[in-house]
């Protein structure tokens, strides 16, 4: 197994590569989904992206305000529970993404909305890849550094 990155470097990396980037990408995805709906796309996609935005913002805020500072201070007796909560939320994000992916692949655009649907699909694919990588790095590299000590 490769050596794990130091905690502070891993946290800084997650913050910049994923949290900051999601905060830029998600509002654009909601806008793309709304633009597609206005051109006749199935209603509800934009609301699902908006709900995912809200859930992810709450999740990232908990990590930034509570979990990451705890980790930077070397852990605490509460950290195991907090990590369990974050992992349960990762599972919920994964389920929400799967539902959106199913809807997006079933979507058939009117000719006038084809460009919007393609743009939405491409942006969503990139965001979903980033989110999966974000959660993989936390689950496989960051959290295990503390779950070990907390058990
Ligand atoms: Fe995160
Ligand atoms: Fe997370």
pLDDT at 151: 43
Question: Which pLDDT does position 1 carry in this prediction?
Answer: 47
Question: Residue 20 is encoded by which pair of tokens?
Answer: 């900051």
Question: Which helix (H) or strand (E) segment is 34 a member of?
Answer: helix 20-38
> Left (φ > 0), alpha (ψ -120 to 50) or beta: where does 40 sit?
left
Q: Cα of 80 to ligand 2 centre, how many Å?
A: 14
Compute, in angstroms, the gap from residue 114 CA to the centroid of ligand 1.
33
Burial of 117 (0-12, 13-18, 19+ CB in 10 A): buried
Ligand with smallest separation from the Cα of 93: 2
Could you tell me the mean pLDDT of each successive run of 10 residues in the chain, 151 residues long?
74 98 98 96 95 98 97 90 97 98 95 94 98 98 78 43
Quote the pLDDT of residue 2.
Answer: 52
Centre of ligand 1 from the C-alpha of residue 108, in Å: 33
Ligand 2 centroid – CA 85 distance (Å)? 10
Looking at residue 6, its pLDDT comes to 87
Considering every ligand atom shown, identify the ligand nearest to the alpha carbon of residue 64 and give its number.
Answer: 1
């Amino acid at each position: 197994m490769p050596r794990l990155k130091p905690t502070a470097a891993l946290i800084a990396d997650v913050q910049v590569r994923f949290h900051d980037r999601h905060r830029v990408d998600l509002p654009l995805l909601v806008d793309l989904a709304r633009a597609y709906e206005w051109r006749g796309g199935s209603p509800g996609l934009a609301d699902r992206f908006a709900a995912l935005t809200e859930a992810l913002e709450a999740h990232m805020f908990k990590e930034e305000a509570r979990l990451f500072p705890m980790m930077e201070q070397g852990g605490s007796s509460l950290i195991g529970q907090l990590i369990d909560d974050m992992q349960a939320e990762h599972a919920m994000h994964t389920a929400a993404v799967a539902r959106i992916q199913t809807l997006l692949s079933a979507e058939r655009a009117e000719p006038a909305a084809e460009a919007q649907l393609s743009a939405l699909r491409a942006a969503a694919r990139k965001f979903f890849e980033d989110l999966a990588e974000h959660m993989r790095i936390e689950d496989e590299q960051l959290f295990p550094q503390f779950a070990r000590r907390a058990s």
